[in-house]
Chains A and B, each alone.
Chain A
Amino acid sequence: MASTGVLHRRPGLRAGLLLAPPLLWLGVAYLGALAALFVTAFWGQNSFTGEVERTWTLRNFHDLITIGVYRTVTLRTIGIAALVTVVDAVIAFPVAFYMAKVASRRTQGILVVAVLMPLWASYLVKAYAWRGMLGTGGLVSWVARPFGLDTPGYGLTAVIVTLAYLWLPFMILPIYAGLERLPGSLLEASADLGARNGTTLRRVVLPTVFPAIVAGSIFTFSLTLGDYIAVKIVGGANQMLGNVVYDNVGAANNLPFAAAMATVPVVVMLVYLAAVRRTGALDNL
C-alpha cells in the first residue's frame, strides 16, 4: 500500500497523524475552554440584565479579595484541605509502614487490595455513607453515647471526616510505594549503630518517605480544593470554594465572577506545587 509506505518512510508524518486528534481535543478544545474561562474572569456583568459584558475589568478579583465572605470561604477551604491532609497522613503512615515493612508477602498483597478496593466504590456513595454514619441516631452517635458524647452532626467536622475518608487511599499508596523503595538494610544499619525505633523513624524513615507524603498531599489538597459535593451532603450550611463557583454558574448566573473564583484553587495548587517541587515529590506521583 502506498500510504503505508509513506508512513513507514516518514516517522515525523506518522507522529503528526497520531498526535493530531488528541491534540485537537485537549490542546485546542480543552485548553481553549480553559483560556476562554480565564478571559471571562476579566469581563464584567450587566447587573440589570445579567448578560456578560465584554469589557475588561478587574472588578471580579477586587470583589473576591475585598468582600469578607469570599475571603472566609477561601480560608476555610484551604484550612479544610490542610486538616484533611494532616489527618490522612497521620492515619496513612502507620498503615503503609505495616504494609511495607512488617506484613508478610501474602498479607501485603491482601492489604494492597483492601486499600485499593474503596477507590472503586462510587465517590458519591462514600460521601452518602458518612451522611448515614453521622446522622442523628446513626452509628456514630450510638458508639459515642456510652462515653457521654454524641455525633458531631453535619458541619465542618463532618466535612473533614468525610473528605479524609474519601482521599485516604491516595495518601496510603504513595507512602507505601516510598517505603517499599526504602531498603530494610538502612533500618538495620540505623539499629546497629544504636538508634532506637523512634530515632530511626525520625532520622531515617521520615526524611526518605517525606517526598512520598508530599506526593499524597498533592492529591488530598487538590481534590479537597475542588470539592463541593461532600460539603453539600454532610456540611450543613457551610460553604467551600466549589459551592460559590457552582452557585455563580447556576442560580446567580454570574459566570465572570465564577470564573474569577475558580482561579483561586488553581493558583493555590500552582503555589503549592511550586513550593513542593524541590522535595522531589513530583517524581512520586
Chain B
Amino acid sequence: MTFSRGLRTGLLVFTALALALVYTPLALVVLNSFNTDKSFGWPPSGLTLEWWGAAAQSEGARAALLVSVEVALLATVLSLVLGTMAALALQRHRFFGRNAVSLLIILPIALPGIVTGIALNNAFRTIFGWELGFLTIVVAHATFCIVTVFNNVQARLRRLGGNLEEASMDLGAGTFTTFRLVTFPLLRSALLAGGLLAFALSFDEIIVTTFTAGAREQTLPLWIFNNLFRPNQAPVVNVVAAVLIVASIVPIWLAQRLSGSQNEGLTGAR
C-alpha cells in the first residue's frame, strides 16, 4: 500500500515526537543524577559525581537492593516451578475446568494491585497468622509472577505439539526421563524468558509489596518511595533511579538474544 508523502511524513514526525516524549523523562533522571542543584532545576547549574558517591555509601539503598534481589530470585524460582506444572497440565491434558484454571492464573495480575494486596495482607495476618516480613513478600510476588512463566511455557508447548514426547514414551522412556531429556531442553528458552519477566515483575513491584512487607524489610521500590519526599535524600534517590534505568537495558538485551521468545510473554509484564 502506498501512502501520500504528506501522510508518511506526518506519521513519521508524530512517531518520532512520541518516542522523544517517552525517553525524555528517563534521560532527565540520568542527567539529574549529575546535577549539582539539589532541587533539579532545568537547565542544570553544574555537573558533579558527588551524589553517585553518596549513593554508593547509602546503607539503606544497599540493604534494600539485596532484599529486592533475594525476593525476586525466590519468587522467580517458585513461579518457574508452579507455572511450568500448570502449563504442562493444561497443555498436555484435557479436563473439566481448564478455562477456569487459566483464568485463575491470570487473576492476580488482572485484578487491581490494591485488591490482591489487601486480600493477601488480610489472609497472611488473620487466616495464616503470619507476621508480615520477607516470606510474605516472596509469597505475594510468586502469586502474580506465575502467569509470566505459565504464558511462555504454554505458548511453547502449544507450538511444539506432543509428538516428540510421545516418541520418547514409545521408545520406553518414563514420565520423568521424558521430561528431563525431551521436554525440558525444548522449554529452556521459554523458561528463561518467563523467568526473566517474573524477575523483572517482582523486582519492580510496589503496590502489592506495600501491603505485604513488614516494618523491617524494604524492597528497593519501597526504599525509593519512602525516601522520595525527603529533600536531603533526593540526590541519592535520583542516582538509584538512574541506576535502575540503565540496568533495565540488561533484560532487553537478554530478551533480544532469546529471539522469538520475547513476543510470547508480553502481556505478562505490567
Contact = CB atoms under 8 A, between A and B. Distances in A.
A137 B49 CA distance: 22
B26 A121 contact: yes
Contacts of A142: 42-43
Interface stretch (A63-71, A206-214, A220-228): A220-228
A14 B83 CA distance: 16
Contacts of B113: 226-227
A26 B89 contact: no
A249 B12 contact: no
Nearest to A30: B143
Given A26-B105, A125-B244, A139-B42, A33 B26 contact: no
A7 B18 contact: no
Given A119-B269, A137-B41, A14 B112 contact: no
A171 to B, nearest CB: 11
Given A111-B15, A227-B207, A265-B114, A128 B108 contact: no
A126 B25 contact: yes
Contacts of B123: 29, 32-33, 36-37
B175 A8 contact: yes
Interface in A122-179: 122-126, 128-133, 135, 137-139, 141-142, 165, 168, 173
Contacts of A123: 204, 206, 221, 270
Nearest to A222: B112
A233 interface: yes
A26 B28 contact: no
B111 to A, nearest CB: 6
A79 interface: no
Contacts of B204: 122-124
A135 B119 contact: no
A242 B115 CA distance: 9
B107 interface: yes
Interface in A1-52: 1, 4-5, 7-8, 11-12, 14-15, 18-19, 21-23, 25-27, 29-34, 36-37, 40
Chain B CB within 10 A, most for which of A22, A94, A116: A22
B104 A129 contact: no
Interface residues of A, number: 91
Interface string B13-34: 0110011011111101100100
A52 B220 CA distance: 33
Nearest to A266: B115
A142 B28 CA distance: 13
B57 interface: no
Nearest to B8: A102
Contact of A255 (B122, B221, B245): B122
Contacts of B42: 137-139, 141-142
A30 B108 contact: yes
The B interface, classified by DSSP as helix, strand, loop or mixed, is helix
Given A30-B107, A132-B32, A262 B115 contact: yes
A245 B118 contact: yes
A114 interface: yes
B224 A14 contact: no
Contact of B82 (A1, A14, A22): A22
Interface string B240-251: 010011001101
Contacts of A113: 252, 256
A255 B207 contact: no
B228 interface: yes
B140 to A, nearest CB: 10
A86 interface: no
21 contacts: A4-B175, A4-B177, A8-B174, A19-B101, A21-B82, A22-B101, A30-B143, A36-B119, A36-B126, A37-B122, A97-B11, A117-B248, A121-B248, A122-B221, A128-B29, A132-B40, A133-B28, A137-B39, A138-B42, A226-B112, A258-B118
The 7 closest A-B pairs by CB, nearest first: A226-B112, A4-B174, A33-B123, A129-B25, A15-B93, A18-B89, A137-B41
Given A23-B104, A33-B120, A197-B3, 8 more contacts: A22-B83, A31-B107, A32-B127, A33-B119, A137-B39, A187-B1, A226-B111, A255-B122
